Structure 1
Amino acid sequence: MTETAFPDVAAPPPQSPLFDLLARNWMLGAAVTDIAFDRAGKLAGFALNDGRLALAPLDDPDSALSRMRIEADSGRSTIRPREKPPAPPVLTPELARGAPLLAASGVIGLVAAGRDGRLHRVTPRGQVIALPVPDGPILAIASDLAGRLALARQGAVDLHDEQDMARIASLPVPAQAQALAFADDGTLAALLPQALLLGRPEDGLTMHPLIGGSGPLIFSADGGWLAGSNCRDGLWLLRRGDGRIARIGRFRAAPSSLAFSGPAGAVFASGAFRAAGWSLKTPPWDDEATGALRTGRPGLVLIDRIAAHPTRDLIAFGAADGAVQIARAGRSEEMALRQPDGHAVTALGWSRDGLHLGIGTADGQAALVTLPPQLFK
């Protein structure tokens, strides 16, 4: 059963006029560590560092889309203010000791894994269903969105059928897997501190000893590229077609967030004073300046989180002071969406249709910002 704990959800202080006009915003009482959207495009889940999830439907009866009007004489679009405060999200009971690891379920809703070994499916209505798994910590999770879950454990990566959690394969690994990721073709990647394992789980995984790290780990939408943080000062890129590797370093901080932009044909990373990006048409094989996309304006505060729009060449980036900006890939002009408030942006992600941007912060603010397409014409 769910625990609808509205007393734990408070109204946050006012933000910028644009943000207040477009966003549903809540104070959740615990730091937000991750955001995930379900496969059906109906639900956003915010992972909290006290072990709970906050669940918010993407559908909003009073969204910015329904409040938008186009003036007949000038054609200018205006958005009236929200008349009532947004409904609070549903808060689940504690699902993990510490922040849950999130993945979109291939069945329904989201899957939340705990490093204490617990695993749950959470439906869009907030029903929490415990999934049977062997005892032991879960170190990383990935879903192929087709009904299979990969779980990293001590010494192995296990592949399960999500319906009944039957174990399909158990793949031994020589060190603790730091992150997992699936490509659309079913290829699984497991990132170890000093190596990468890659392949179809049914056939076993091949080791790439020249690259490793601590995560994040992501595939491009077409599966042709894989990127990961080296856990020190930069990232690596692997082109799967020929196995060629590019290494990009000298970041101010290890990238904690990576994003491939299909529309821009580029990869982006946090950890610098601006949104750091590179074109995949001219990859930085030998020179880090090759293909560099200067996106947004350089600032004095590090970018902590970055997210690429699924269908437009838009990049959202959140800073350590709480500011969130949106810019087109390779352009300096920015749209200031959220003003700095001294609390770092700790989670950032676009919904699958690109209509909503989810934001989470270190002081427990969670927001869903509805961004009408007219804003970016």
Structure 2
Amino acid sequence: MSTTAPAPDFLINGRGTSADLGAWVVSLAFGRDGRGLFAGLGDGTVRIAQPGAEWRVVEAHDGAVLSLCADAKEGALSGGDDGRLIRVPFEGTAEEVARYGSKWIEHVAAHETGLRACAVGKAVHVLDAKGAALKSLAHPSTVGGVAFDGKGKRVAASHYNGASLWFVGAKEDKPRVLEWKGSHHAITLSPDGTHVVTAMQEASLHGWRLADGQHMRMSGYPAKTHSLSFTARGKWLATSGAEAVVLWPFFGGGPMGKAPTELAGGDGVICTRVACHPQHEMVAAGFEDGLVLLTDIGSGRVLPIAPPGGGGISALVWNANGTLLAFGTEEGRCGIVDLSKR
């Protein structure tokens, strides 16, 4: 990018490893217990990486992995186009949690309290830590994204014409409906639970301030946004979908009436994935040419993580303490970079 040196020394060369996994990297997740990186692939397998060892292969789905996240306590949770919700522990076995016939499981989410959720068509199924079904939440159209709030008390789902916010522990399942015309897919809640934001088909974002229902329209993207990530304290929302990392301010009354900040841009290549550091105001960004960068929000300083090549970045994730950054590409390249102090 324009802010890096002409011939940058990419950190993966001295601080990381990479491998060709042979299939589209749909999603990545580090286990909450710190053991292993889990990669959900388009060939239906989940791969597990650990330092100094070969990748382990788990035959998880008869078809493709459509979604994957860190499970509630340890391991990963995977949804496939075979209608099966699978738990993959670090030891590397496939354990079926639930089965939903021939319907695709396109989105999964889990919370450290033990709750899991998966989107199957128009329904979001909520399960407990043992895999028992707690409730099935119906929506007016196919669910485009699922997310828990920071405390695990509410689950949000995006769909056509808005989003629905549910209290998981409510005796009567009646959502707070957040309305806005159009098709909504990726969804996130601010860390303090005060805002809900969705990415829309129309290459824009829409948000709601929950205290008073205030709408927040964030537009101007040249491409559709697939990736949303709040900074640890919720001050900024980082997004993909432009030729730079677009950061919307969620302080001082923003983002209404405030222009976004753009970082790590300049080469005309679309940013495809963003992941904010779990502790500091830094954001990792992946681009459609395979480039991965790390940017400090305050100073704008850019650190080159991985060079272009190997397909567009399709997945990007930090471990819990922010010492490891992993990325995956559409062509199956996967890298892990150690950013801990030495």
TM-score, with length taken from structure 2? 0.89
CA distance in 2, matches of 1:182, 1:236: 18
Q: Pick from 291, 295, 307 the counterpart of residue 323 of structure 1.
A: 291
Among 99, 105, 110, which residue is 2:76 paired with? 110
CA deviation map 1:55-96 (0-9, x unaligned): 113xx3xxxxxxxxxxxxxxxxxxxxxxxxx43211111424
Shift of 1:253: 0.5
CA 1:93 to 1:142, structure 2 compared with 1: closer, same or farther past 3 Å?
Answer: same
Spell out, residue by residue over 1:212-237, the C-alpha distance to the aligned partner (whole angstroms, 9 max, x if none).
Answer: 64432112222222221012212122
Give the number of the structure whose residues are more often strand, by fraction.
Answer: 2
Q: Which residue of 1 aligns with 2:191?
A: 221
Match of 1:177 in 2: 143
Q: Contact between 2:10 and 2:304, CA under 8 Å: does it hold in 1?
A: no
Please report how far the alpha carbon of residue 211 of structure 1 lies from its aligned counterpart in structure 2 after TM superposition.
Answer: 6.0
Distance 1:283 1:114, change over 3 A: farther
Q: TM-score, normalised by structure 1?
A: 0.82
| Bigger mean CA offset, 271-280 vs 201-210 | 201-210
Mapped contact 1:180–1:217 kept (Cα < 8 A): yes
Matched, 1:250 2:220: yes
User: Which structure 2 residues correspond to residues 217-366 of structure 1 after superposition, within 5 A?
Assistant: 217-263=187-233, 265-287=235-257, 290-341=258-309, 343-366=311-334
| 1:46 corresponding residue in structure 2 | 39
CA displacement, residues 288-323 of structure 1 (integer Å, 9 cap, x when unaligned):
xx1522322432111111110011111111111111
Alignment root-mean-square deviation, CA: 2.1
Q: Does 1:29 align with 2:11?
A: no
Specify the alignment match of 1:9 in structure 2.
none
Residue identity opposite 1:353 in structure 2: N
Q: Deviation per CA, 1:234-275: give whole Å up to 9, x if none.
A: 212222233222111120111111110125710010011111
SS in 2 for 1:215: strand
Aligned to 1:154: 121
- Measured at CA, do residues 314 and 94 of structure 1 come closer, stay the same or move farther in structure 2, by a change above 3 Å? same
Q: What is the distance in 1 between the residues matched to 2:111 and 2:282?
A: 25
Distance 1:337 1:154, change over 3 A: closer
Return the alpha-carbon distance in structure 1 between the equivalents of residues 10 and 128 of structure 2. 46
* Separation (CA, whole Å) in 2 of partners of 1:365 and 1:313: 27
| Structure-2 separation of matches of 1:364 and 1:256 | 19
Look up the match of 2:3: none
Q: Residue 369 of structure 1: CA displacement?
A: 0.6
Gapped regions of structure 2 (runs ≥ 5): 1-7
Once residues 11 and 256 of structure 2 are traced to their aligned partners in structure 1, the CA distance between those partners, rounded to angstroms, is: 42
User: Would the aligned equivalents of 2:121 and 2:142 in 1 still touch at CA under 8 Å?
Assistant: yes
Distance 1:228 1:304, change over 3 A: same
Asked if the contact 1:251–1:272 (Cα under 8 Å) also holds between the matched residues in 2, the reply is yes
Paired-residue identity, %: 25
Mark the structure with the bigger radius of gyration.
Answer: 1
- Number of positions where the alignment pairs a residue of Structure 1 with one of Structure 2: 330
SS at match of 1:193: strand
**Which residue number corresponds to residue 79 of structure 1?**
none
2:5 corresponding residue in structure 1 = none
State whether residues 266 and 278 of structure 1, in contact with CA within 8 Å, keep that contact through their aligned partners in structure 2: yes
Distance change (3 Å), C-alpha of 1:214 and 1:51: farther
What CA distance in whole angstroms lies between the structure 1 residues aligned with 2:110 and 2:294? 28
Say if 1:133 and 1:146 are closer, same or farther in 2 by CA, change over 3 A: farther
